[in-house]
Amino acid sequence: MSTGSSVALTDAQREEYNPFLSMQKGFNTAADYLGLDEGLREVLRSPDRELTVYLPVMMDDGGVRVFTGYRVQHNFSRGPCKGGIRFAPDVNIDEVRALSAWMTWKCSVVDVPFGGGKGGVICDPREMSAGELERLTRRYTASIMDILGPDRDVPAPDMNTNEQTMAWIMDTYSMHVRNTTTAIVTGKPLAIGGSRGRTEATGRGVMISCREAMKKIGLRPEDTRVVVQGSGNVGGIGALLLYREGYKIISLSDMYGSVYREEGLDVPAVLAHLREHRRLEGYTDAEHRPNAGQLEVDCDLLVPAATENQITSENADRIKAKLIVEGANGPTTAKASEILHQRGVVIVPDILANAGGVTVSYFEWVQDRMGYFWTEEVVNSRLEQVMVKAFNEVYSTAEKYKVSLRTAAYILSIERVASVYHLRGIFA
């Protein structure tokens, strides 16, 4: 269920769908296992800094519109804040807070020296021209300049932003500081300091997480029916990589609907159609279905790779998958996660499963700082090493504490961040 619906929500639904509250529930459960004192819990739950900006932008018709933007820096005890910028009409401060905290735990799970940050602007990019989006991006960048920097906060693409958006941010920042600063963002075009393998990194990390989880629960790719929600850089690339590994992808979706083929989709053909027509509608070699109910299709592996709050207490009982690997951030609410865990469904949580993106973002930042760039083979090999190590550490933590992989990922990541506070102390 998407919270973007126009249907009025009950108070219980608002609480369940609030991503910041969901993040805090996961945090509190892990903190209990770790025995963290209340003072440190309060420090780790709270963002270090929040900035709200109002952005006047000249529109193509000559009028001016004022957009609202946010940047939340959750924690920079382990290094610069790291996290994407999303452009969407339903962006809100609680969502950005939650996403910035999840970035802290995600960076910690894969043990890269970043803290968590996240940004967002309330707008509908589908209704804006390229010129309007460029002016909005540059104004947003100029408005948050004081808290950005390669050693402070390094943005990246997220929902409805891309390489071009990052190029505009890099250029705006560089013009203000009077030198070309490629390490200010990641997810850039290769020509201006981007990393090979970055576009595919999140989807590749999802594929690696699926493979490692399948080993643990005894499934083989050739016997595994897969439903992938989403078809962008995470869902589409993840589906393609899984297809190449021999998995049977039976359903794939975009924001307008889904395609289904019981014998398995020809994923390269589906994605070629999507690139040409910008939507799945019109693809002929599959059954077309509405998005409602896609997550409940009978399958072995479910990859929700679209947006948050898709698996909730309302549909968790109808999920048929044995294994869920979260490609999106926060696709499963805390209540739904408990229901699925009680049913014996294995969930590889977002802060582990989709950490391939931030891992290769870290690689890009390192390459920019060195001025020396790696081959795609080196990037993919190092990503594989990081993701496999992180998965095994989370799995071992789950066995040690006898908890779900989600709780184990929180325990591992929070313990690492908490240890930094114990070593550094609280500045007074």
Distance CA 291, CA 259 (A): 9
CB 125 within 8 A of CB 133: yes
The dihedrals phi and psi of 21, each to the nearest 5 degrees, come to: -65, -40
β-pairing, 287-289 with 257-260? Answer: antiparallel
**What strands lie across the sheet with 257-260, from one edge to the other?**
287-289, 257-260, 248-254, 225-229, 301-304, 323-325, 346-348
Distance CA 45, CA 52 (A): 19
Distance CA 194, CA 368 (A): 8
The pair of three-digit structure tokens given for residue 213, joined into one six-digit string: 């989880």
Instruction: Give one DSSP letter per residue of 336-366, joined into a string.
Output: HHHHHHHTT-EEE-HHHHTTHHHHHHHHHHH
118 among known catalytic residues = yes
The pair of three-digit structure tokens given for residue 274, joined into one six-digit string: 């999507």
| Cα Rg, the chain, nearest whole Å | 21
Distance CA 354, CA 428 (A): 36
> Distances in Å between the alpha carbon of 240 and those of 163, 234, 346, 356, 415?
21, 10, 22, 16, 35
Among residues 82, 118, 188, 335, the one annotated as catalytic is 118
The pair of three-digit structure tokens given for residue 56, joined into one six-digit string: 């006047």
Residues that are catalytic: 118
